[in-house]
Amino acid sequence: MIIESDKPQTREELFIALYESTFPKVATFIRKMNGSFDEAKDIFQDALIIYYEKKAEPDFSVKVDDKAYLMGICKHLWYKHHHANTLKQSLEMTAELKLTTEEEPKISESILQFIEVSGKKCLDLLKAFYYDKLSMKDLAGKFGFAGEHSATVQKYKCLEKVRTAIQHKSLTKEDFYV
Amino acid sequence: MCEAQYLENYLTGTLSPEDSLVMDARVLLDMGLNDKIIWQQRTYELVKAYGRKQLKMEIEKVHNQLFSEKRFSSFRQKIKNIFN
């Protein structure tokens, strides 16, 4: 994992650095394409999410540097949103981003809010492991468990707790997805 | 190994081939187990949606900082010039 720590402080610094280094270039590109500031903002923020998720993958490596990669994602998103000539984009990038941006079902906000209220602690623990991809050791440290073993036990307890809660809350698929 | 862990191993293909086959058969026969698997998959999706939501909020916070705090005024000016 390249993002060394999941502490918001550190993540915040990372995002500020990326904004300062890359947003002006993205804004220049979007402006050239007759886009607005708001469009530049939306595209850049979506790109940061994709970038973050990709970087968190354990076997992920990029051949170009971070700024160029982020810029590439922004261009890809722009062309995608505008149905413009996507052939300009490298096939590799297009194939790679498909996984992240296009396969995801939208979870209904009401289910998410229900769990955020009833099981926030568990959700935070599960997010740290499955989304931020923290190691068991870091997870234990962050959440104050005695060691990796108790963190693992707690993680699965939480998984079961949230699973049971959403199963009881929404008995049909329609309640779950938007 | 608890049930959630066992189901996760089944879903990620990390059970032994024999155990995996046994589970395939059990899932077919046991609707309750089948439901648990479906809901566990939805739990992963939910966690991802939650992760994204939190991340979006963090990014928005950074954006607001950059476009309001004094220490970033030259950055702001740079962006302003691009859209003027």
Tens-digit pLDDT profile for residues A106-156: 788 888 998 898 889 999 999 999 999 999 999 999 999 999 999 999 999
CA-based nearest distance A82→chain B, Å:
19
Q: What are the pLDDT digits (tens) for A52-86? A: 999 888 777 777 788 999 999 999 999 988 875 55
From A37, A22, A74, A39, select the one nearest B84 (Cα to Cα).
A37
Q: Could you give phi then psi for residue A107, rounded to 5 degrees?
A: -80, 135
pLDDT at residue A177 in the model: 81
pTM score? 0.86
ipTM > 0.85 (yes/no): yes
Mean pLDDT of chain A: 85
CA distance B2 to A118: 22
Nearest CA of chain A to the CA of B80: how many Å?
Answer: 9
Residues in chain B whose beta carbon is closer than 8 A to a beta carbon of chain A? 2-5, 8, 35-36, 39-40, 42-56, 58-63, 65-66, 75, 78-79, 82-83
Signed CA dihedral, A141, A8, B43, A43: sign only:
negative
Q: Strand runs (DSSP E) across A3-147, as ranges?
A: none
